Amino acid sequence: MASRVYGIDLGTTYSCISYVDESGRPVILANAEGEQTTPSVVFFENADNIVVGTAAKNATKAEAGRVAAFVKRNMGDASFTFDVDGKKYTPEEVSSLILRKLVQDAGAMTGETITDVVITCPAYFGAPQREATKNAGKLAGLNVKRIIDEPVAAAIAYGVREKLNDEVVLVYDLGGGTFDVTVMRLEQGEINVICTGGDHHLGGKDWDERILNYLVEEFMKAEPASGDPRDDAQSVQELLLQAESYKRSLSARESTKVGVSFGGARTQIELTRENVEELTRDLTERTIELTQNVLQEAASRGVPRVDKLLLVGGSSRMPVIARRVKETFSLDPQLFEPDLAVAKGAALMAISIEVSEGRKFSFPTPKVSAKIACSHALGLVVVTDDEGKNEEVVYLIHQNTQMPAEVVNTEFGTLRANQSTVYIRVVESNDAESPSLDANHQILEGEIANLPPNLPKGAPIHVTFGLREDATLNVRAIEPSSGRDLVMNASIEGVLNDKEIAEKRRDLIRKNVS
């Protein structure tokens, strides 16, 4: 049976899947274990059997070396692999196994064969991370209709439910491994992102690690002869699970007792909410600083006020978050379905995409659209001296440019007379825009070869950057006198190409996922 299109929140710590039911409402589909969210954890039980979810998370206590977690933080990183049984798995491959678990269980519940999906990612993901996320879907055998930003998905779910019209909303999204903050305008079913910021290496996991270190230090004070539990991988994993569990409990309680065992010794440690807030104060303040930066950027773009502030992401449940947000921004934050809003918004966007492409449904379909902003600046490496020794970055597309966008620059030229080849290097900013190469990372490269003879020094090279609405970048460089050109749109560094995807998919499809 052909299916409708589904929305997937592929999270750092938890993932979930949603679809729009016959009444036009987004519904979360539980997994085979009856859970609305599935831990984004993969246990390579043996060469042929893969376990995903809660059972995989529990396996970290005994077989930490066979369990992959938090791989979303490494999406688009060519240097990272998870190694087990003599095989190296990229973040895309591990993520594809999580996606397979989600669609298998959802399909079993709905009776549909799920192929078409919209997958979310952090707003602060750049081109390599977004492309890697799309490739994870391909490796899972899915047709990824679009990658959309998590805060945008949350705002869609909120806006459709509340029927918002002409409201400026700030979404503060603190998940298990990433933090995003986005200002957007919701108006008559359309979402326009004004600006975005964040840190995809800041999330609940960092709070857990602070708690772990505190528990270990208190244990070692009480039992100095027992050694450091952090020297044992299985002890570390067990303590991390405890840290996450007790952190969650402290959202409702002021204090709790934690039992820590190692080296034949055991001690009880009191953990208080106040204590945890002090241990992690700098992490909380980092999110406040990033939020302030985005609000300042929004004001510079003609949006000086925010009507509503939404808290999403499981880690935003911590009471200190709402308190500090209210203290700093004088807004009453609304905790909006922190674990589920993103998947629901993805499902609503998915249906809207299908309708725009002419598909008919027997149920009411909300009309939503979103124009998102580029989270990182994009530019070229240029040579600034005649010897070709000094290089700097010139940006063509600036951070928070609304997509789609196309920019043509006709001011670049050849370095020397009779130059036969032009080498093109495209970079993405790491954070703030800077001409320094160290503040950027290369994502594309290529060359225009066989240029016409006798071109003078400074002969023009016209460069066009085209950024699609899903943040896919196309680059074209032309030598105008000959018309020779180079188009670069499928070779982002650190991301699997089509041949590699096909090869890895053939291997992955033979593995049982449960």
Phi, psi of 415 (to 5 degrees): -80, -35
Q: pTM for the complete prediction?
A: 0.90
What distance in Å separates the CA atoms of residue 415 and residue 382, rounded to the nearest whole number?
Answer: 10
pLDDT score, position 160: 77
Cα–Cα distance, 207 to 243 (Å, whole number): 8
* Residue 139 contacts residue 260 (beta carbons within 8 Å): no
Residues 6+ apart with CB under 8 A from 357: none
Half-sphere exposure of 276 (CA within 13 A, CB side): 29
The reported pLDDT for the residue numbered 493 is 59
Q: Where are the alpha helices (DSSP H) in 223-272?
A: 233-249
Structure tokens at 3: 């299916």
Cis peptide preceding 452, ω within 30 of 0: no
Active-site amino acid positions: 9, 72, 150, 173
Whole-angstrom distance, CA of residue 295 vs CA of residue 468:
25
Structural domains of the chain ordered from first start: 6-202+285-372 (3.30.420.40), 204-279 (3.90.640.10), 378-498 (2.60.34.10)
How far is Cα 472 from Cα 34, in angstroms, rounded to an integer?
Answer: 36
The residues with which 484 forms a beta bridge, in sequence order, are: 479
pLDDT tens for the chain, residues 1 to 514: 457 899 999 999 999 999 999 888 999 999 999 999 999 999 999 988 999 999 999 998 788 889 999 999 999 888 899 999 999 999 999 999 999 999 999 999 999 999 999 999 998 888 888 889 999 999 999 999 999 999 999 988 988 777 767 889 999 999 998 999 999 998 877 888 999 999 988 999 999 999 999 999 999 999 998 889 999 888 888 888 889 999 999 999 999 999 999 888 999 999 999 999 999 999 999 999 999 999 999 999 999 999 999 999 999 999 999 999 999 999 999 999 999 999 999 999 999 888 888 888 888 887 788 888 888 899 999 998 877 789 999 999 999 998 889 999 988 999 999 998 888 899 999 888 999 999 999 888 888 888 888 899 999 999 999 988 767 788 888 888 888 887 764 446 567 778 888 888 998 889 999 9
Contact in structure between 42 and 51 (CB atoms under 8 Å): yes
**Largest Cα span, the chain:** 80
Q: Are strands 473-479 and 484-488 parallel, antiparallel or unpaired?
A: antiparallel
DSSP state of 85: T
Positive or negative, the CA dihedral 24, 188, 165, 17 is positive
The kind and range of the H/E element at 170 are strand 167-174
pLDDT at res. 489? 47
Ranges of beta strands (E only) in 123-166 are 143-149
Task: Write down the pLDDT at residue 490.
Answer: 40
C-alpha–C-alpha distance, residues 83 and 65, integer Å: 9
Give the burial class of 443: count Cβ atoms within 10 A of its Cβ; 0-12 exposed, 13-18 middle, 19 or more buried: buried
The answer to whether 441 and 495 have CB atoms below 8 angstroms apart is no
Which long-range contacts (C-beta less than 8 Å, at least 24 apart) are formed by 322-331? 324/284, 324/285, 324/288, 325/172, 325/288, 325/291, 328/288, 328/291, 328/292, 329/170, 329/291, 329/295, 331/170, 331/306
H-helix or E-strand spanning residue 297: helix 281-300
Give the 3-state secondary structure of residue 62: coil
Contact 262, 229 (CB under 8 A): yes
